[in-house]
Amino acid sequence: MNDDTLDLQKSRYARQMRFPGIGVGGQRRLLASKALVVGCGALGSVIINTLARAGVGHLRIVDRDFLELNNLQRQVLYDEDDVAAGIPKAIAAYERLKKINSTITIEPVVADIDHTNIERLAGGAECIVDGTDNFETRFLLNDAAVKLGIPWVYGGCLAAEGQSLTILPGKTPCLRCLMPEPPPPGSSPTCDSAGILGTIIGVIASFEANEALKLLSGHEEAVSRTWTIFDLWDNTIRQIKLEPAPAADCPCCGRREFPWLSGQRGSHTAVLCGRNAVQLSFPGRDAISFDELEKKLAAVGSVSRNKYLVRAEIGSNTITVFPDGRAVIGGTEDIAEARSLYAKFIGN
Ligand SMILES: [Zn+2]
């Protein structure tokens, strides 16, 4: 045992190294590892808190949003001072994490992750962890991860239910093997319409962070080979066994087509001059259901509808949605804010 090993054993990681799955060797690998965590909201704040404490040597954390009071119920890294200061989540997270572990590198990035920056942001990462709230970004992450051969961990939560899945490109099914298309815009509830419990966030984010720790400490063999779905209110855990290999006909990992990464799919945005509004459009997406959308928006604002559009007034924003999912978000000229409002109130 050399001095370095003795230092590690006396270190903050002593209890973690005592666990045989990690050990001294695994801890060394963690300290030399690099991970990208996309989203510093509910899932993201638990994930980065756990990974920073565990000693992941380089954490790149990306988020496009600012803090709001209703975040504090589940976004465990933040406090009332952060909300009052109105600072971006990635920066608030950075300020907190560097007090938790000053010995690692934490790189905050305030950005809307999209096809123009994902490959640069994923550069050098050994693992990508999903702390996002929408399928558009997850399909982009899936394209990038498969193209670059980087394992990624998917997680999502709504109400009291949450799910997670780890994707080893070329070895296990990717997101598109299991879900060829994202759900049409407005078709599924969001946290703003269906609510969310902080407890399910803790479960899923810990599950995701645990998968990341296996990957980053060099234990790919320990990674879950199931799609795991928890419902904390109904007391159920479902584990769907994955096929042992990716689907041969998957457009992503089979044919290596990456339309979200090329920008052919995903939202297109434009600031509407002089209107204090941003337009988002989604080429190639299915038509949306106005009935479902109206019901969902009525839970968070005042809604009007005709056969051409659904319009909701939510706080200082007006959201107008057309049958093809195109939306005009009024009350902002900030594209990242508009995309964030779309994900929150309309969703995938
Ligand atoms: Zn696939």
CA 46 to chain centre: 12
Strands (E), 85-215: 105-110, 127-130, 152-158, 161-167
Residue 129 to residue 204: CA distance in whole angstroms: 12
Residue 262 to residue 266: CA distance in whole angstroms: 9
CA distances from 128 to 198, 220, 224, 285 (A): 23, 14, 16, 26
Taking alpha carbons only, the member of 340, 275, 346 closest to residue 41 is 340
Quote the tokens at residue 126: 């050994």
* Ligand 1 mean position, distance from CA 233 (Å): 32
* Ligand 1 mean position, distance from CA 172 (Å): 8
CA 329 to chain centre: 22
Residue 256 to residue 282: CA distance in whole angstroms: 22
* Ligand 1 mean position, distance from CA 288 (Å): 25
* Ligand 1 mean position, distance from CA 247 (Å): 6
Q: What's the pLDDT score for residue 2? A: 56
* Ligand 1 mean position, distance from CA 255 (Å): 9
Q: What's the pLDDT score for residue 1? A: 47
* Ligand 1 mean position, distance from CA 138 (Å): 13
* Ligand 1 mean position, distance from CA 248 (Å): 8
Residue 92: half-sphere exposure toward Cβ, Cα within 13 Å: 28
Residue 220 to residue 222: CA distance in whole angstroms: 5
Which residues of the chain, if any, have pLDDT below 70? 1-6, 8-9
* Ligand 1 mean position, distance from CA 257 (Å): 10
Residue 143 to residue 169: CA distance in whole angstroms: 10
* Ligand 1 mean position, distance from CA 246 (Å): 5
pLDDT, tens digit, 9 for 90 and up, residues 80-127: 999 998 788 999 999 999 999 999 999 999 888 899 999 999 999 999
* Ligand 1 mean position, distance from CA 134 (Å): 19
CA 135 to chain centre: 9
* Ligand 1 mean position, distance from CA 256 (Å): 9
Q: What's the pLDDT score for residue 234? A: 97
Residue 240 to residue 165: CA distance in whole angstroms: 10
* Ligand 1 mean position, distance from CA 193 (Å): 31
* Ligand 1 mean position, distance from CA 176 (Å): 5
Q: Is the distance from CB of 277 to CB of 332 less than 8 angstroms?
A: yes
* Ligand 1 mean position, distance from CA 140 (Å): 13
* Ligand 1 mean position, distance from CA 177 (Å): 4
Residue 52 to residue 48: CA distance in whole angstroms: 6
* Ligand 1 mean position, distance from CA 263 (Å): 18
* Ligand 1 mean position, distance from CA 142 (Å): 9
Residue 38 to residue 121: CA distance in whole angstroms: 9
Residue 161 to residue 240: CA distance in whole angstroms: 15
* Ligand 1 mean position, distance from CA 153 (Å): 14
* Ligand 1 mean position, distance from CA 83 (Å): 40
What residues have CB less than 8 Å from 170, skipping those under 6 apart? Answer: 146, 149, 246, 253
Quote the tokens at residue 286: 């299915």
Q: CB burial class (10 A; 0-12, 13-18, 19+) of residue 273? A: exposed
Q: What pTM does this model have?
A: 0.87
* Ligand 1 mean position, distance from CA 245 (Å): 9
* Ligand 1 mean position, distance from CA 123 (Å): 21
Residue 197 to residue 328: CA distance in whole angstroms: 30
* Ligand 1 mean position, distance from CA 249 (Å): 8
